[in-house]
Chain A
């Protein structure tokens, strides 16, 4: 495993890739998330942290085009013109989600087709975007399986024959093969053994940097946030209570809740 090369200087990129403005979602009387605004720039990795029920997954679903927010808008700049993802037709939004975006679910079963071979799971995304050459698709699938450290000999096996860690790596290959510009990840290492987590984290770290991906990662694990993200938003009761550079938020937290979160971590 080689160490990543840092991405090219993104400080002078002209426009954010994704902009959220006043994004809110309510469940009856209860606030899912409220008034969330931020810009995400190309190549930037944003972490959303907070405990269960803080609204971080609700926010992610709004940002990723899965659940329509009750208020606010989400702009995506894939081309020259920014696109309000909830004002375009459903079909257009789905096309965007298949091509320009990727979503890595916490449970690989939500992101994989369990009755389709590993190669088919990876190749399907390529066919979605219009690739038709079987040989090339299989070759790309093999390349991606090796990048996520799955032996090529397993290409025809079904995901249900894989361990949890392998399933998660396969899901990541399926998402990244179509070269999305923006990836959403919901607790990507949740539910995995610690030793498996470390390998997956290292893999994600290298891939995100090498591909210059922009990503939004929801996690309750501050160590994951520190390793993978550039910036953090800390959520509590549906609101962003603190945000900034990841190491600054974790090492010099200012909000009472962030201080509580960071002081609750046991160091080993």
Chain B
């Protein structure tokens, strides 16, 4: 087994300087590891800090204390102390984040959005287009939308473009935040399949899934982060 993520003594609190300096503790002294091929599902009530933890793993939030060792190019790298260009390199090559929202870039077509990670990893434009189209088709995005920029797409359509982009070439580590929120049952099932396929290829998954049926199909293990709530 290869450990892909090792979380060591991670504590998070937000200090709101412009609201009287109030300090909001989120969790305290979190420790866990995720192996290649595992799907760890974060559990805990709304507000327990599941999304904050996922963002910390991505280097988007900074923990107040502790370390996150990400296995990148065969070596553990602490994403908490890594310099920005190293974090960006980790994200480009090892660490993917799937949110329910697509960050729309003006004028870029759905197909190009999905193709982009393949091109970045050196796959030929023709092959990249073919794989991107196959992925969009699998997620039932109508072909007439492929060459349009998704700014005018519905929430569910944008979400599927985002999922296609994330799973067209799954990263070694995939952080997934509520990917099925506005999808119908058929597309939800496709997402469940895509996660299973990524796992079969060795991806380590950490995710938050609101939908109980999806959660049960995806999870190989649960972590209830309410356990790390600091006793008041």
Contact = CB atoms under 8 A, between A and B. Distances in A.
A244 B15 CA distance: 18
A247 B59 CA distance: 9
A1 B107 contact: yes
B88 interface: yes
Nearest to A205: B105
Nearest to A209: B120
Given A2-B112, A9-B89, A248 B60 contact: yes
A21 interface: no
B152 interface: no
Given A11-B89, A251-B60, A244 B106 contact: no
Contact of A3 (B15, B84, B93, B113): B113
Interface stretch (A65-73, A168-176, A254-262): A254-262
Contact of A245 (B84, B106, B115): B84
**Chain A contact residues (Cβ within 8 angstroms of B): what range?**
20 to 34
Interface string B186-214: 00000000000000000000000000000
Given A260-B18, A263-B18, A251 B85 contact: no
Interface in A221-268: 227, 230-231, 244-248, 251-252, 254-256, 259-260, 263
B92 A252 contact: no
Contact of B85 (A6, A230, A255): A230
B229 interface: no
Contacts of A254: 15, 62
Contacts of A51: none
Interface of B: 14-18, 55, 59-62, 84-89, 92-93, 105-108, 112-113, 115-116, 119-120
